[in-house]
Amino acid sequence: MNHKTPLLLFTMVFIPLNFLFAQRAISDKLQHFQAKRNDINQTAMLVLGSWAAANILVGSIGNFKTEGETKYFHQLNATWNAVNLGIAALGYFKAVHSDPAAMTNVEMLKDYNSLQSFLLLNAGLDAAYIMTGLYLKEKSKHSSSAERLKGYGNSLLLQGGFLLLFDVSLYFIHLNHANIHLYPHLESLAAGGFGLGISIRL
């Protein structure tokens, strides 16, 4: 047997196995990363849902117990958070039933990037809510519907401010999680898996 044959056979077996092991390792790490993301999202949706439920309860009572701008403030708080409660419920059940083992590596990465982009978009909308609240308060100074405009404006300031804090905080929590449990492993894979190169002179 040619002395080069064993080396060639070893190379043909070792390189694919090394690549498969690298792929398996990164898949395990990504599944752990995704599972932790689901935990973070569950907690976030519980926070949002609790905020929404409290606003609906207090807002509903305030709508019937108060008058003037305070009545309109509570009115919009309750109405606004009926939507938030629905979003929180859907988001929570999605996180609970998400199975990282059933997702490909690409799907997990896309899921992470999509949520981060969505949170940034939401932050922009939250800022718009705040600006709208300021506009309504300013407009109330010269309007016959001053109480309604001021009440709604104050509500938008509160809800927009909370949602801005919520979305920005969740964005950076996920980013910090990715910096620790995602990006280092992707760099390792690029260096040790996809970047594998062997030159053999026969």
CB 147 within 8 A of CB 106: no
- Which phi-psi region, left, alpha or beta, contains residue 68 (left: φ > 0; alpha: ψ -120 to 50)? left
Block means of pLDDT (10 residues each) for the chain, 202 residues, are: 54 49 67 95 98 98 96 98 98 94 89 97 98 97 94 98 98 96 75 42 38
Residue 198 is predicted with a pLDDT of 37
Residue 29 is predicted with a pLDDT of 84
Residue 4 lies in a domain: no
- E-assigned strand segments in 4-147: none
Domain limits for position 58:
24-194
Using alpha carbons only, give the angle 154, 127, 68 rounded to the nearest 5 degrees: 10
Residues 53-66 have pLDDT tens digits of 999 999 999 999 99
SS (H, E, C) 20-43: HHHHHHHHHHHHHHHHHHHHHHHH
Residue 185 is predicted with a pLDDT of 76
Q: Which of 78, 170, 63 is nearest to 126 (CA)?
A: 170
Total domains present in the chain? 1
Q: Is 104 helix (H, G, I), strand (E, B) or coil?
A: coil
Residue 200 is predicted with a pLDDT of 35
Residue 199 lies in a domain: no
Residue 104 is predicted with a pLDDT of 87
Residue 130 is predicted with a pLDDT of 98
Residue 6 lies in a domain: no
Residue 52 lies in a domain: yes
Q: Is 116 exposed, middle or buried (0-12, 13-18, 19+ CB in 10 A)?
A: middle
Residue 49 is predicted with a pLDDT of 98
Residue 201 is predicted with a pLDDT of 40
Residue 179 is predicted with a pLDDT of 94
Residues 20-53 have pLDDT tens digits of 545 566 678 889 999 999 999 999 999 999 999 9
Residue 10 lies in a domain: no
Residue 36 lies in a domain: yes
